[in-house]
Amino acid sequence: MIRHVTAPTSEQLEAARRVIADHLVPTPTVTLSLRGRDVLVKLESLQITGAFKIRGALSAIDAALRQDPQGAVITSSAGNHGLGIAHAASILGVPATVVVPQNASLAKVKKLRRYDIELIQIGTSYDDAQRHALELADRRSIRYISPFNDTNVIAGQATAFDEMLQQAPELEHIVVSVGGGGLISGVLMSRNTHDRGDIKVTGVQPVESSAMYHALRGTKMEDVRHRPTIADGLAGGGDDGAITNELISRHEVPLVLVPEIEIRRAVREALESNGVVLEGSASASYAAITLDLVNDTTSRIGFIATGRNISHELLTELLKEPLSET
């Protein structure tokens, strides 16, 4: 079933800015050296939940409360959005249910268990979790908050780029990791709000799970093949007919695909060379820039370090792998 969602209005974008300013501290934008190239990096990995998703969660739950002060919410997630919903619900005093796959990141599930929420693990993919969450939302008559195909979630994610533009007005090209497209849609909305159409936007997906890339070329989400990737926050299908698909298509945003081995190497390189812990979803953008997949070697380029929620076991495994082929 296609869920009809609209792009945020200026009023919704402003409401998101207000609630996020009330509850979150701006994350820094720093300059890191990626194989000798200066790159601007927005450290959303420093968010209290370890990922940018807290922004969209706060925005969406705040909007839900204004419509129904007694309402509960439910969501599906690969992990980080669930953490955002859990934390936002605790701040705003809302009962929340989070549905994740049974094989969700252990690091993210461990953090989710610290919150006073109903946590459900079901299925083996994000699509399974979303299907169950939508069924429960209908059965219980409560609000479902999509990790990406939600007007107020997109408005919340836009605030990350609002901050980055204030911190680094010299930015000319932003590279964004893409799963369902909530963050890159927020970037596009923020870019328009600030009249910065001169800034190039490139999206990045893992080769092993690239639903948006194929959907924008006419493939139905259910027909996209998914293989395991450490970029679990980008894995799985999106929604056919989602507003995020429309926004990416309308703005003609190019999407590039990163091989799994390069995502793995980028996690290690980011830590060893720059002292930054990145989960796979964030390192996809790191890898795309270092490999010149974005086809831009001259612009003042940057990316959003979307999260740090990687398990100790996986990080240890990656640190033992070679940085380059021998």
What CATH number is given to the structural domain containing 234? Answer: 3.40.50.1100
Residue where a domain stops, chosen among 104, 120, 144: 144
CB distance 232 to 83 below 8 Å: no
Question: Where in the sequence is the domain holding 235, given as residue range(s)?
Answer: 10-52+155-319
Q: What is the mean pLDDT of residues 216-226?
A: 90
Per-residue model confidence (pLDDT) at position 324? 62
44 and 63 assigned to the same domain = no
Element (H, E) at 100: strand 96-100
Q: What percent of the chain has pLDDT over 70?
A: 98
Identify the pLDDT of residue 60: 97
How do residues 41-56 score in pLDDT, each as one tens digit? Answer: 999 999 999 999 999 9
Would you say residue 101 lies in a domain? yes
Number of domains forming the structure of the chain:
2
Listing from the earlier edge strand, what are the strands of the sheet with 29-34? 29-34, 37-42, 301-304, 173-177, 200-206, 255-258
Q: How many helices (H) and strands (E) does the chain have?
A: 12, 10
Q: Are residues 105 and 223 in the same domain?
A: no
- Listed in order, strand segments (DSSP E) in 149-254 are 173-177, 200-206
The answer to whether residue 150 sits within a structural domain is no
Query: Rounded to an integer, what distance in angstroms lies between the CA atom of residue 202 and that of residue 287?
Result: 13
